[in-house]
Amino acid sequence: MRQLDKLTVQIFADGADLDGMLALYRNPLIKGFTTNPTLMRKAGIADYPEFARAVLAAIPDRPISFEVFADEFDQMGVQAMEIASWGGTVNVKIPVTNTRGESSAPLVRRLAKAGVSLNVTAMMTLRQVEVIAPCLEAAPPSYISVFAGRMADTGRDPVPMMAEAVRILGDFPNVRLIWASPRELLNIFQADAIGCHVITVTHDVLNKLPLIGHDLDEYSLETVKMFFNDAQSAGFRLCEMVPHF
């Protein structure tokens, strides 16, 4: 297994807890940040622009994606231009469709021509990649986020599809592929192996980074000790007769 400092895939932290983001900002492995409305709601964010300003003031030099939340494309466009105005490190996240399943491709194309750095998100099929990538041809450096982790949740192996997405984006040098919604640290190495550009990782998974390369015998013993200590702390009792086997 390759060491983290040898990886070519960039790790972006995915979350909306400002304290957690600032802690990860101090980690040189973290090359950027992403958020979304669900993560912000879970973090108790009430004022979107205020949160964004705080993040950008504290993290001024790494790419950060903020997402629109309208459902009508004209209003998405208005929100996208406002978000883009927050700073030069901002990528505007546009969902690949609205809630009616209508493609956001025309909006993506317009925003790209307007010079907005984009992150087209919630993608799960190669067809979506094929449709959206040409729309970003005129854009500044932008991203396509394919939710490999959610694909895996359906019982599908995301690796072949992600590898094909890398190949497709080879024709669009300004567009980088994000392996989104990973479920485990192994996904970082899988993304790296296929040449994926970026992987977004939630804070809880990033907290496991010290485990990479951990000795398995030692990890086994630590697990046994965990079970023992938890049983003792819980006060569990069974009969203590001398065994006859």
Between CA 201 and CA 48 the distance in angstroms is 21
Q: Phi and psi for 6 in degrees, rounded to 5?
A: -100, -5
Between CA 37 and CA 46 the distance in angstroms is 11
What pLDDT was estimated at residue 56?
Answer: 98
Q: Tens digits of per-residue pLDDT, 21-31? A: 999 999 999 99
- Partner residues linked to 200 by β-bridges: 12
CATH architecture under which domain 4-214 falls: Alpha-Beta Barrel (3.20)
Instruction: Give the C-alpha distances (Å, rounded to integers) separating 121 from 66, 132, 193, 231.
Output: 11, 10, 22, 44
Confidence of residue 2 (pLDDT cuts 50, 70, 90): low
Q: Tens digits of per-residue pLDDT, 46-100? A: 999 999 999 999 999 999 999 999 999 999 999 999 999 999 999 999 999 999 9
Q: Where are the domains of the chain?
A: 4-214
Instruction: Give the C-alpha distances (Å, rounded to integers) separating 221 from 22, 47, 147, 211, 224.
Output: 33, 46, 35, 14, 5
With CA atoms as reference, report the closest residue to 116 among 145, 96, 95, 87. 87
What pLDDT was estimated at residue 173?
Answer: 97
Q: If you search the block for the tokens 């989104």, which residue do you land on? A: 180
What pLDDT was estimated at residue 181?
Answer: 96
Using the predicted structure, report yes or no on whether residue 144 has a pLDDT greater than 60: yes
Q: Phi and psi for 96 in degrees, rounded to 5?
A: -65, -25
Q: For a pLDDT cut of 70, what percent of the chain falls above it?
A: 97
Total-model pTM? 0.94
Residues 6+ away with beta carbon under 8 Å from 82: none
Q: Which DSSP helix (H) or strand (E) runs through 18?
A: helix 18-25
Secondary-structure percent of the chain, ordered helix, strand, coil, rounded to 5: 45, 20, 35
Mean residue pLDDT of the chain comes to 96
Using the predicted structure, report yes or no on whether residue 147 has a pLDDT greater than 70: yes
